[in-house]
Chain A
Amino acid sequence: MKKTLCFILLTLTLLNAKAFNAPMQTYMNELSAEAKAANPNFTGFDAKRGEAIFVSKHTGKKGTQMSCTTCHTTNLKNGGQNVNTNKPITALAPSANPARLTDVAEVEKWLRRNFNDVFAREGSALEKGDVLTYIINQ
């Protein structure tokens, strides 16, 4: 009985675990190596730190206060809206929008654009890895 319960729990945990596809995992490994090179004490990406980055407010490229949530909102399972054009943005959470975080070129493009828009600079490997770890678990 205990064994069965254990098995069920393990299966549920595995099903619930959010995994990157192979190309994305390769990209995450590259970010990880870069983060380790920048800081030898780096031990891995962290969703909590990613969330903190995601909600933090900064003076963006346009000189106004904004955060990732300005367009994407705080619930990533919901869609958002482009703050400049009002055009709808589909949900970022892979659980709600399976196409998210599946294409490395798309991910790199939007990280570059959106870090510049919100932080007025590009993101570091640590920041990008943390944010992606936060999003993949949504």
Chain B
Amino acid sequence: MKKLLLITALGLNFAFASSVAPSDNAQYQKECASCHFGYQPALLNKASWEKVMGNLSDHFGTDASLGKVESEQILNYLLTNAGSGKITANNSTMQITKSPYFIKEHRKIPAKLIEQKEVSSIANCLACHTTADKGNYSERAIVIPNYGRWE
């Protein structure tokens, strides 16, 4: 019985953890997170990362091109740590925000809270997920600017 409880508790913990491994790769941080939030590799699957890294010279409209060596090293890091499962299911686009799971999790947020200048984009994780840089997206750590906690 105790064992069963423990397993259940562990299972629940896992389901609500909402965490991904932090992006602790110095090269990835330097080359990618100098312009935007350092999205953790687990937020996209392998097919998505291959698309992203295959066209850095037109990266969402801007030139984010890298040297061949750096590009290969970063792709390798991303593929090694790419996501699978519910977060990336049915999303092989280049956008984390196109994942059905992501859309479901964010569906109740009023547009005006996203459009306000403190956030400005649904892709700006750290604006509301205060521990996003550590890979922790738990609801408890959400503070939406000009709104407050989201629980």
Binding site for B on A (CB under 8 A): 61-62, 82, 84-87, 105, 109, 112-114, 116-117
Contacts and interface: CB of A to CB of B under 8 A. Distances in A.
Main secondary structure of the interface of B (DSSP, over half): loop
Interface string B47-70: 000000000011011111111000
A62 B59 CA distance: 11
Interface residues of B, number: 18
Contact of B63 (A82, A85, A87, A113): A113
Given A84-B60, A84-B61, 7 more contacts: A82-B35, A82-B36, A85-B121, A87-B34, A87-B36, A87-B37, A112-B63
Given A82-B35, A82-B36, A87-B37, A116 B63 contact: yes
A58 to B, nearest CB: 14
A105 B58 CA distance: 20
Contact of B67 (A84, A85, A105): A105
Interface of B: 34-37, 57-58, 60-67, 120-121, 123-124
A84 to B, nearest CB: 6
A113 B65 contact: yes
A85 B65 contact: no
20 contacts: A61-B62, A62-B61, A62-B62, A84-B36, A84-B60, A84-B61, A85-B37, A85-B121, A85-B124, A86-B120, A86-B124, A87-B34, A87-B35, A87-B37, A109-B65, A109-B66, A109-B67, A114-B63, A116-B57, A117-B63
B109 to A, nearest CB: 18
B67 A113 contact: no
A44 B66 CA distance: 30
B126 to A, nearest CB: 9
Contacts of A112: 63, 65
A1 to B, nearest CB: 52
B35 A61 contact: no
Contacts of B61: 61-62, 84
**5 closest Cβ pairs, A-B complex:** A116-B63, A85-B36, A62-B61, A113-B63, A117-B62
Nearest to A113: B63
A79 B76 CA distance: 32
B124 to A, nearest CB: 7
Contacts of A116: 57, 63
A113 B62 contact: yes
